[in-house]
Amino acid sequence: MSINKLLSCFDKYLPLDEGEKADLAQRVTERKIKRRQFILQENDICRHYTFVAEGCFKKFQVDKKGTEHNLQFAAEGDWLMEIDSFYFEKPSRVYIEAIEPAVIYQLNKANLFYLFTNNPKFDRNFRVIVEDRFVEQENRILQTISSTAEERYLSFIKQYPHLYQRLPGTQIASYLGITPEFLSKVRKYIAQKQ
């Protein structure tokens, strides 16, 4: 059952008791998402904090030339949102699109703040989730400015061991900031070294 994935995701932080799990279950909305369906588009306001129970998403921006730049992938057990848009109700700078059919659970701001106010565990758990994403983004920035394409690819495999086989090379290349052709060369070079 997908809701159990959501309820158990907090076990690695501060586990929830049965009452807290029931409160959370009453406040989330389950959605089934089709492949290539958007849950957020550029210039919309991000209205939900989203938990991925099944499937895979990409968060990306499109530049003035129409090129996609992948910023994040989220699969089973991950949370995603556009934080600036969600908290400050600014137009989103990114898109969030399903790469695979998915099942998600969403919390709107009112329900999230209710949980924060009425149970300190939720405040702490969500703070750690945001802090984890912040660390990932800092590491990614450092890799982008100081690592080779090969090092970035190997780091990607380490960070997303459950995804690199599921994602098309074009999506991985976009995330790494290289062309799909160059990614093929990097993969070939790594395979020859092994």
pLDDT digit string (tens) for 60-85?
Answer: 999 999 999 999 999 999 999 999 99
Burial of 13 (0-12, 13-18, 19+ CB in 10 A): middle
Cα angle at 163 between 188 and 46, to 5 degrees? Answer: 130
* DSSP class per residue in 98-161: ESS-EEEEEEEHHHHHHHHHH-HHHHHHHHHHHHHHHHHHHHHHHHHHH--HHHHHHHHHHH-T
For residue 1, pLDDT over 80 is answered with no
Per-residue pLDDT tens for 38-62? 999 999 999 999 999 999 999 999 9
Q: In what order do the strands lie in the sheet with 56-62?
A: 38-40, 95-98, 56-62, 68-75
Q: Please give the pLDDT value at position 149.
A: 92
For residue 189, pLDDT over 80 is answered with yes
Per-residue tokens: 187: 């993969």
Give the integer Cα–Cα distance in Å for 80 and 99.
Answer: 14
Q: Are 171 and 179 in contact (CB under 8 A)?
A: no
DSSP annotation of 49: E
Per-residue pLDDT tens for 120-179? 999 999 999 999 999 989 988 998 899 999 999 999 998 888 888 899 999 999 999 999
Q: Please give the pLDDT value at position 161.
A: 87
Give pTM, 2 decimals: 0.91
Per-residue pLDDT tens for 89-118? 999 999 999 999 999 999 999 999 999 999
Beta-carbon count within 10 A of 21 CB: 17
Q: In what order do the strands lie in the sheet with 102-108?
A: 29-33, 102-108, 48-54, 79-80
- Find tokens 């099942």 and name the residue: 103
For residue 192, pLDDT over 70 is answered with yes
For residue 17, pLDDT over 90 is answered with yes
Q: Please give the pLDDT value at position 169.
A: 92
Closest CA to 69 of 139, 171, 180: 171
